[in-house]
Structure 1
Amino acid sequence: MKIESIRPVLLRDDYQEHERWFFPGGGSTGWNAALLEIRTDEGLIGIGESIAGSTAPLAFLGMVKQLEPLLIGADVLDRATLLSRLRRASIYWGTSGMGAGVVSAIDIAMWDIAAQAKGVPLNVLLGPGARPEVPLYVSAGFMQSEDALRDEMRRWVDADFRAVKIRAFGTPSEILRTVGVARLALGEDIALMVDLNANLMRSPLDFEGALTVAKGFKELNIRFFEEPMKSDDVRAYAALVNQSPVAIAGGESFSSVEQFELLFDQRTFHLAQPDTTHCGGITAMLKIADTNRHGMRLAPHTWGSGVALAACLHLVTAHPSYEVGEFCGVTNRLQTALLVEPVTVVNGNVRAPSVPGLGVRLTEEIERRYARPDAQFAPTY
């Protein structure tokens, strides 16, 4: 089955004022998505996504155009050959960072086509032991008043989620106060995780501040504590892991199998969070799990459109190393519009996708409503 065409698709959903979410020094005015469509000579269409492209659309368009001649006419089912070809061609710019994100989109789209060709959901193609359902946590809780935070926590419980991740900002005492409010609103039976989004902060916590917060989180029964410090401070994270009484999570900004091998060897986190749309796609996520020699816990980071969410759900249901899925809880119409099957949470779990392929669709109506072919995205952050 030959690749007939490759098309980058840039989408944006502009927020109304009340839909915006904020963090210190930034926020979002809408949701961007950088997708990639592969069409074959047998009529099958695969869709992939690159998280990096959503904030740098011009670079995404240029990288796709650069790689396109290597793929047109090639056998879409021969992923190993094509990925090797792409790596050789982009060795000086594409093996990590945004280049890896573009390859992620290509890889996801090829897996989508492969599963459609077999007439099975992607999770079945990935392995015969796919779980019928998996836990899913909701990821939300940005800057807001304490009353608004309490209301949001209750909404997620009413929506049948049994695990919630929030953001918290400020000094250690301010962070602990915010998380305490969320814990009281949720009660002790709901798992609570906390993300400090240090990569987006102008003044993230240092080691001592992160350790102080981690010690306070023990009393609040926090399941994991995500990115309290800049992600590239590997030595500090290794030290924090050795002293923290709660699990330390991170890794969403790392973008290659080799980088995760280093994180595993240095025991940088208790829980590593590679992103399918950033680190090389489904193929890379499988390799990351295989290289996890020290048994570090794994959970995909997922912060994209319905394509990213579908890839996450297929991976978690198919691969036992990935323990839980992440559901973006801010306004994200591109998350719901692109899914063939809606996500339904029952007692904190979501059923495995059941339609052939990835289970996403890019319709003419979606493009009429959201397409931004001129790449004039407003900044997401």
Structure 2
Amino acid sequence: MKIKQVDIYQLHWQGLSPVWHPVVVRLTTDTGLTGFGEAGTAYGIGSVGTVGVLQELAHRLIGRDPAQISQIWQDFYQHSFWAKGGGVVFYSAVSAIDIALWDLKGKALGQPVYQLLGGKVHDRLPAYASHIEYGWGPFPRYVTAPDDFARLAKRVVGQGYSGIKIDPLNFERGKTFLPFRGLLDSHQLQEAYDRVAAIRKAAGEQTRLIVDCHAKLEPAAAIALAHKLAPLNVSYFEEPISPQNVAGFATVAQQSGLPLATGERLTNALSFAPLVDSGSIQVLQPDLGNCGGITSAVRLMGLAAAHELSIQLHVCGGPLATAAALQFEAACPQFLIHEEHEVNRKPANIASGRYHYAPVDGSYAIPDRPGIGQELSEQAMEDAQVTTIREEE
């Protein structure tokens, strides 16, 4: 079996924010078998660059045996020059291809990917409701009032979720991500506290509460916010500052009193290692679509095991991203909880997958279809902008 064609899909999600640009790759073999993988740059800036890298890497794939996943990964790493720089756009392209290769192998063997990773260690995967400040409904709606946070918290607890995550730092009207912040003033600290406190009161003390700062703060501001939130029993503090600031992470870890988490902007194990070695983080959050795919995530699983740390995959993309995450999490002993991002509830997102996986009573059953258990829907592929690289006749 060899790869004869690579299709790169730039999806169009009607009705969603214009900043969303999911990128999916499909590998087709000479036997007709196909494998799908999704890049992790669906949001923000970078999807066009990912498409460009995928086009270049596709030429290295044509004619290759897709079963040689590690060999292909090493080829990209050793011979692409930029791979050793750790750039997210480059690794998003590698990740999409790697996931598609695992999908192909699972389909060829008639097995779900979790079986190829050693089998299930979890029968169900508990999930938390991620970023309810974006509305937690079929249409985007950004909320800022504590009463709205309380209302949405009651809704997700009623749906069975065991945890909730929010970013409480959206202060400026019409903006969902703040510019880089230095020290927060007393009004901002209180407003952030009021939002998180409203969720804690509505959700109860048994609900896991995760606070995400999207790397907006400087260390001093992150420490001040952590101290302000201390009475609310925050489970862990996600990306309080830039993950590139290893010394800053150590300072925040020492002075905040909260477990720290990061990983969605990091790539291979080498980029996680300084934070892990410094003892700064307790929860690794790689994104399968950014970190180098399943192959790289397996190495991170070993890193987490060696340091007795938890893994909570960052999952923020299309149905392929969710499906791949479920397969990996099922086989991951360090798995903590699944991120059910609010975008996964949007009708346009759901329609882009051939199958729909959703939590029931706040947890996922593990799909047992071969491969990652998901493909693009025919409509999604028809509506997408497609670039094809194929074997020359």
- For structure 1, which segment, 237-246 or 301-310, has the greater mean C-alpha deviation from structure 2 after superposition? 237-246
Match status 1:194 vs 2:211: yes
**Kept after mapping to 2: 8 A contact 1:241/1:270:** no
Corresponding residue number in structure 2 for 1:88: 78
Match status 1:52 vs 2:41: yes
SS at match of 2:22: strand
Counterparts of 1:303 and 1:127, CA distance in 2 = 25
Which amino acid is the alignment partner of residue 52 of structure 1? Answer: T
Counterparts of 2:240 and 2:14, CA distance in 1 = 30
1:343 positional shift: 2.8
1:53 positional shift: 6.0
Write out per-residue CA displacement over residues 83-132 of structure 1, whole angstroms, 9 at most, x where no aligned residue: 11122231235752211110000000000011111111111221124421
Q: 1:280 to 1:93 in 2, by over 3 A?
A: closer
Which amino acid is the alignment partner of residue 365 of structure 1? Answer: Q
**Kept after mapping to 1: 8 A contact 2:131/2:341:** yes
Counterparts of 2:287 and 2:329, CA distance in 1 = 12
**Kept after mapping to 2: 8 A contact 1:307/1:335:** no
Corresponding residue number in structure 2 for 1:141: 132
Counterparts of 1:148 and 1:31, CA distance in 2 = 25
Q: 1:346 to 1:332 in 2, by over 3 A?
A: closer
1:332 positional shift: 3.5
Match status 1:176 vs 2:196: no
Corresponding residue number in structure 1 for 2:8: 8
Corresponding residue number in structure 2 for 1:159: 159
Counterparts of 1:95 and 1:101, CA distance in 2 = 13
Q: 1:93 to 1:270 in 2, by over 3 A?
A: closer
Which amino acid is the alignment partner of residue 235 of structure 2? Answer: R
Gapped runs of 5+ residues in structure 1?
Answer: 17-27, 199-203, 375-381
Corresponding residue number in structure 1 for 2:181: none
SS at match of 1:189: coil
Match status 1:275 vs 2:287: yes
Q: Looking at secondary structure, tell me which structure has more strand per residue.
A: 1
The TM-score, its normalising length taken from structure 1, stands at 0.87
**Kept after mapping to 2: 8 A contact 1:172/1:209:** no
Which amino acid is the alignment partner of residue 81 of structure 1? Answer: Q
Which amino acid is the alignment partner of residue 265 of structure 1? Answer: D
**Percent identity at matched positions?**
29
Match of 1:78 among 47, 68, 78: 68
Write out per-residue CA displacement over residues 112-154 of structure 1, whole angstroms, 9 at most, x where no aligned residue: 0111111111112211244211111121133413332222212
Match status 1:123 vs 2:114: yes
**Kept after mapping to 1: 8 A contact 2:353/2:377:** no
1:264 positional shift: 1.2
Superposed CA RMSD in Å reads 2.1
Which amino acid is the alignment partner of residue 32 of structure 1? Answer: H
Corresponding residue number in structure 1 for 2:362: 348
Counterparts of 1:94 and 1:5, CA distance in 2 = 27
The TM-score, its normalising length taken from structure 2, stands at 0.85
Counterparts of 1:248 and 1:131, CA distance in 2 = 24
Which amino acid is the alignment partner of residue 281 of structure 2? Answer: F
Q: 1:102 to 1:148 in 2, by over 3 A?
A: same
Match of 2:299 among 272, 275, 287: 287
Gapped runs of 5+ residues in structure 2?
Answer: 134-141, 172-187, 388-393
Corresponding residue number in structure 2 for 1:25: none
Corresponding residue number in structure 2 for 1:378: none
